[in-house]
Amino acid sequence: MNSDSIKALVFDVFGTVVDWRGSIIREGESTWRARGVDVDWPAFADAWRGLYQPAMARVRSGNRGFVKLDDLHRENLEQVLTDFGVSGLSDTDKDELNRIWHRLDPWPDTVAGLNRLKSKFIIATLSNGNISLIVNMAKRAKLPWDCVLGSEVSRQYKPHPEAYLNSVAALGLQPQQCLMVAAHNNDLLAAGEQGLNRAFVLRIGEHGEHQGTDTKAEHAFEFVAESFTDLADQLGCA
Amino acid sequence: MNSDSIKALVFDVFGTVVDWRGSIIREGESTWRARGVDVDWPAFADAWRGLYQPAMARVRSGNRGFVKLDDLHRENLEQVLTDFGVSGLSDTDKDELNRIWHRLDPWPDTVAGLNRLKSKFIIATLSNGNISLIVNMAKRAKLPWDCVLGSEVSRQYKPHPEAYLNSVAALGLQPQQCLMVAAHNNDLLAAGEQGLNRAFVLRIGEHGEHQGTDTKAEHAFEFVAESFTDLADQLGCA
């Protein structure tokens, strides 16, 4: 498609902008093993993330009022620590470990790509992460967002339609003026149902060596890119 | 005070970051006079801004649900055009004129000061402006916000306590970890009542040559500065 009508790029963050799994494994093995969390860190990261969708589902369904992701992560951490037989961490330690989600590393092309994309478009997050999580992550990793949007502004988790529509409305734009950027087919399908354009970015490795999902664009998305810098090329960014 | 406990600076925008009155007068005289708004532009700007507080007061009091500032500005524009005897503008023209609030110019020290302050602190807006207004203004004027907060996130207008407390909470901080930066004594007093630290920045000229209010810090605020670069000096920013 022609990108002339696009005013803003809105980004999924976990997996698309940052390598959540690799970052958790690295900090776990370098820091938390010595502090008492002596576990199989790849398995621990996967188990923690595995509780993410069920926790959000209770909010999306209306069975629970809106709870920010930091708090869902903290509840899920208790569960995972129990399941992995870890005990003895203080509440302060658990709070610090929980904030590992604020300290995720970007993919190698992320910062250079975002800076190029920002030269031509508004770049905003459209993440299930809460505002402070996204802001602290951006400050540490030098992610140059024009605006932090997503679940805490929309008061609803993706893929609920309101997560997309409220974010687009906050930018004062129509859905067709926005391009949703994600490494996940389902996120893009849901964005497309609300009228947003879609860019699939391949992130092989998000789920480790034996990734079984999102290894390719499974639908006819408007853009398919191998990296943010490839997307910047396709969108004509300097 | 010692600034070591400060994590984030939260900024009033209209008058503190940008010269709303001078910007409106400049664009009015250079563009809108020829398009049919042949008025005394300083008086027109003051009258338009004069309807700002009464419009927000109806929301703050609960007599009206939350309405974003773009929409309040648009309603007030109709009133001011009528009062100044201007007719014949199309709705499209009025919408474009209303978005003059997205095109305000920063004070001369603003961009350099913000970039220095950003090197040490989170810098966020805490404005009554809606998200798209602040984002479009920032994109045009190169204001490097880490995060856009304020009324549309808080669903309440300053100086209502929730406008301050919800913004601080969104950053995951305590009020005493935040420094409210404003050119207005009343805004700082209200922020202080919620526990935020306060920096008064002198903006002589916000209200024109014969400014009658906010010509000095009227209370013992934690910081008093002549500009954003002066504030950066006082806060030890490189």
Q: Nearest by CB to B135, from A130, A138, A171: name it.
A: A171
User: How far is residue A231's CA from residue A236's CA, in Å, rounded to a whole number?
Assistant: 9
Cβ-based contacts of A98 with chain B (< 8 Å): none
Confidence of residue B1 (pLDDT cuts 50, 70, 90): confident
Domain boundary residue, one of A102, A123, A146: A102
C-beta separation of A163 from A124 below 8 A: no
Confidence of residue B183 (pLDDT cuts 50, 70, 90): very high
- Burial B108-128, CB ≥16 within 10 A → b, else e: ebbbebbbbbbebbbbbbbbb
| Same structural domain, B162 and B80 | no
**Closest residue of B to A125, CA-based?**
B147
- With CB atoms and an 8 Å threshold, state whether A153 touches B131: yes
| Same structural domain, B130 and B98 | no
User: What's the CATH number where A25 sits?
Assistant: 1.10.150.240
| Same structural domain, B108 and B194 | yes
Instruction: Name the interface residues of B facing A (CB cutoff 8 Å).
Output: 70, 122, 124, 130-133, 135-136, 138-139, 145-149, 152-153, 170-173
Q: Nearest by CB to B138, from A133, A146, A152: name it.
A: A146
Asked, for residue A1, whether it belongs to a domain, the answer is no
pLDDT in tens, A30-80: 999 999 999 999 999 999 999 999 999 999 999 999 999 999 999 999 999
* Mean pLDDT, range A93-107, rounded to an integer: 98
Q: Which residues contact A70 (CB under 8 A, 6 or more apart)?
A: A98, A99, A101, A130, A132, A133, B172
Tell me the longest C-alpha to C-alpha distance in chain B. 57
Asked, for residue B24, whether it belongs to a domain, the answer is yes
| Same structural domain, B134 and B224 | yes
pLDDT in tens, B198-230: 999 999 988 888 788 999 999 999 999 999 999
Asked, for residue A3, whether it belongs to a domain, the answer is no
| Same structural domain, A111 and A184 | yes
| Same structural domain, B118 and B159 | yes
Q: Nearest by CB to B122, from A124, A139, A152: name it.
A: A139
| Same structural domain, A94 and A178 | no
| Same structural domain, B131 and B170 | yes
| Strand-by-strand arrangement of the A8-11 sheet | A147-150, A122-127, A8-11, A178-182, A197-201, A223-225
Say what percent of chain B tops pLDDT 70.
Answer: 100
- With CB atoms and an 8 Å threshold, state whether B171 touches A135: yes
Q: Nearest by CB to A131, from B130, B138, B147: name it.
A: B147
Closest by CA to B55, choosing from B39, B40, B66, is B66
Which residue intervals of B91-178 are DSSP H helices? 91-98, 110-118, 131-141, 151-154, 161-170
What is the reported pLDDT for A209? Answer: 81
| Same structural domain, A86 and A113 | no
What is the reported pLDDT for B212? Answer: 85
In angstroms, the Cα distances linking B49 to A63, B43, B77, B80 are 44, 10, 10, 10
Cβ-based contacts of A132 with chain B (< 8 Å): 170-173
Interface test with A, best of B69, B74, B135, B178 (most A CBs within 10 A): B135
- With CB atoms and an 8 Å threshold, state whether B171 touches A122: no
- With CB atoms and an 8 Å threshold, state whether B131 touches A139: no
User: What is the sign, positive or negative, of the torsion defined by CA atoms of B166, B169, B171, B177?
Assistant: positive
| Same structural domain, B77 and B193 | no
User: How far is residue B88's CA from residue B100's CA, in Å, rounded to a whole number?
Assistant: 19
Which residue intervals of A85-195 are DSSP H helices? 91-98, 110-118, 131-141, 151-154, 161-170, 185-193
| Same structural domain, A165 and A223 | yes
pLDDT in tens, A84-99: 999 999 999 999 999 9
Question: Is A15 a residue whose pLDDT tops 90?
Answer: yes
Confidence of residue B10 (pLDDT cuts 50, 70, 90): very high
What is the reported pLDDT for A118? Answer: 98
Interface test with A, best of B96, B118, B146, B155 (most A CBs within 10 A): B146
Which domain does B30 fall in, by range?
Answer: 20-102
Confidence of residue A229 (pLDDT cuts 50, 70, 90): very high
Asked, for residue B3, whether it belongs to a domain, the answer is no
SS3 assignment, position A180: strand
Q: Interface pTM (ipTM) of the complex?
A: 0.95
Cβ-based contacts of B139 with chain A (< 8 Å): 122, 146
Interface test with A, best of B130, B148, B174 (most A CBs within 10 A): B148
Q: Which residues contact A167 (CB under 8 A, 6 or more apart)?
A: A10, A124, A126, A149, A150, A153, A154
Closest by CA to B155, choosing from B81, B53, B26, B64, is B64
pLDDT in tens, B19-54: 999 999 999 999 999 999 999 999 999 999 999 999
* Residue B104 DSSP class: P
Closest by CA to B50, choosing from B12, B80, B78, B75, is B80
Confidence of residue B142 (pLDDT cuts 50, 70, 90): very high
Question: Is B136 a residue whose pLDDT tops 90?
Answer: yes
pLDDT in tens, A184-211: 999 999 999 999 999 999 999 888 887 8
Instruction: Name the interface residues of A facing B (CB cutoff 8 Å).
Output: 70, 122, 124, 130-133, 135-136, 138-139, 145-149, 152-153, 170-173
Asked, for residue B59, whether it belongs to a domain, the answer is yes
Q: Nearest by CB to B170, from A147, A152, A171: name it.
A: A152
Domain boundary residue, one of B68, B86, B102: B102
Q: Which two tokens stand for residue A125?
A: 């997050």
Asked, for residue A36, whether it belongs to a domain, the answer is yes
| Same structural domain, A94 and A46 | yes
Mean pLDDT, chain A, rounded, equals: 96
Cβ–Cβ pairs < 8 A, chains A and B: 54
Mean pLDDT, chain B, rounded, equals: 96
User: What's the CATH number where B203 sits?
Assistant: 3.40.50.1000
Asked, for residue B219, whether it belongs to a domain, the answer is yes
* Mean pLDDT, range B79-84, rounded to an integer: 98
Query: Dihedral, CA atoms, B125, B129, B134, B137, nearest 10 degrees?
Result: -120
Domain boundary residue, one of A102, A128, A145: A102
- With CB atoms and an 8 Å threshold, state whether A148 touches B148: yes
Cβ-based contacts of A153 with chain B (< 8 Å): 131, 153
The number of distinct structural domains making up chain B is 2
* Mean pLDDT, range B175-181, rounded to an integer: 98
* Mean pLDDT, range A167-172, rounded to an integer: 97
What is the reported pLDDT for B211? Answer: 83
Asked, for residue B1, whether it belongs to a domain, the answer is no
User: How far is residue B140's CA from residue B103's CA, in Å, rounded to a whole number?
Assistant: 7
